[in-house]
Amino acid sequence: MTWFRALFRSTVGLKWLMGTSGLVLSGFVVVHMFGNLQIYLGPDAINAYAESLRKMPLLLWAARIVLLAAFLLHVLSAVRITQLNRAARPTPYELWSPQVTTYAARTMFMGGVILAGFIVYHLAHFTFGLTHPDHFKLHDAKGRHDVYAMVVLGFRQPLVSLSYLLAMVPLLLHLQHGVSSFFQTFGLNHPRYNRIIRALGPIVSLIVFLGNCSIPLAVLAGLIPYPVVGK
């Protein structure tokens, strides 16, 4: 593990750790968003999807452990590098006029802190069933955990929906900078591919944003019915 210690000690190494863990987290966020979209296919589809994940405990737990490790590594290196970066400019400019630094790039740390808070809430809500235990206990006709009902009932509460919608803004910004950024961190920068690399962050982040936001909005608009009649 000497290489790990060496990476954690240098600013360049920290970027490698942050980029690798950021790639894992971003990959998960994209896959997770597409998984969530199955709510539009009705209760049977999404409950079966959730059930199938539970039937593969080894895979599920491996994924959870990798995600947890990536999350901890990401936060740890983010805190360290942000400390170093802030210490590097003790006296701020009276006037600083960035030419190309985006809002997203400037707010990576604070956005990340909001995301971390949201992730804790989100897990308490849907994974551990702590915030709405009554929604969490439901089972469908086939005796499966009723994920569909849990999501719809949760999002019918305007404040719950609002918190999810608001949290998607820092996620949009974080991925907008982050997804293009890890290519550079991994040393992938070539004039032939830079246009696509720099477009990827904005495109991926927008897809995730729209996909995720559509669900609470659709529930609030009554487009995702519960209980489902005629089935």
Please report, as ranges, the residues that interact with another protein according to CB under 8 A: 2-3, 6-7, 9-16, 81, 84-102, 105-106, 108, 177, 180-181, 184-191
Per partner kind, with CB cut-offs from 5 to 8 A, the member of ligand HEM, another protein, none near residue 191 is another protein
Instruction: Output 56 or 166, the one with its CB closest to ligand HEM.
Output: 166
| Amino acid of residue 71 | F
* 185-192 long-range contacts, CB within 8 A, separation 24+: 185/15, 185/16, 185/18, 185/19, 186/16, 186/19
| Cα 25 from chain centroid (whole Å) | 7
Cβ count within 10 A of residue 178: 25
In this structure, what are the phi and psi dihedrals at residue 145, rounded to the nearest 5 degrees?
A: -55, 125
Tell me whether the omega of the peptide bond preceding residue 227 falls within 30 degrees of 0, making it cis.
yes
Instruction: Output 112 or 216, the one with its CB closest to ligand HEM.
Output: 112
Instruction: Output 109 or 226, the one with its CB closest to ligand HEM.
Output: 109
Q: How far is the CB of 195 from ligand HEM (least distance, A)?
A: 18
Q: Which residue reads 């070539």 in tokens?
A: 190
Per partner kind, with CB cut-offs from 5 to 8 A, the member of ligand HEM, another protein, none near residue 96 is another protein
Per partner kind, with CB cut-offs from 5 to 8 A, the member of ligand HEM, another protein, none near residue 113 is ligand HEM
Instruction: Output 18 or 50, the one with its CB closest to ligand HEM.
Output: 18
Q: How far is the CB of 184 from ligand HEM (least distance, A)?
A: 7
Per partner kind, with CB cut-offs from 5 to 8 A, the member of another protein, ligand HEM, none near residue 93 is another protein
Q: Which helix (H) or strand (E) holds 198?
A: helix 194-220
Distance (Å, rounded) from C-alpha 32 to C-alpha 42? 17
Instruction: Output 85 or 127, the one with its CB closest to another protein.
Output: 85
Instruction: Output 43 or 112, the one with its CB closest to ligand HEM.
Output: 112
Q: Specify the DSSP class assigned to residue 87.
A: H
| Amino acid of residue 39 | I
Q: How far is the CB of 210 from ligand HEM (least distance, A)?
A: 16
Q: Give the count of alpha carbons within 13 A of 1, CB side only.
A: 2
Per partner kind, with CB cut-offs from 5 to 8 A, the member of ligand HEM, another protein, none near residue 214 is none
Per partner kind, with CB cut-offs from 5 to 8 A, the member of another protein, ligand HEM, none near residue 25 is ligand HEM
| Amino acid of residue 146 | D
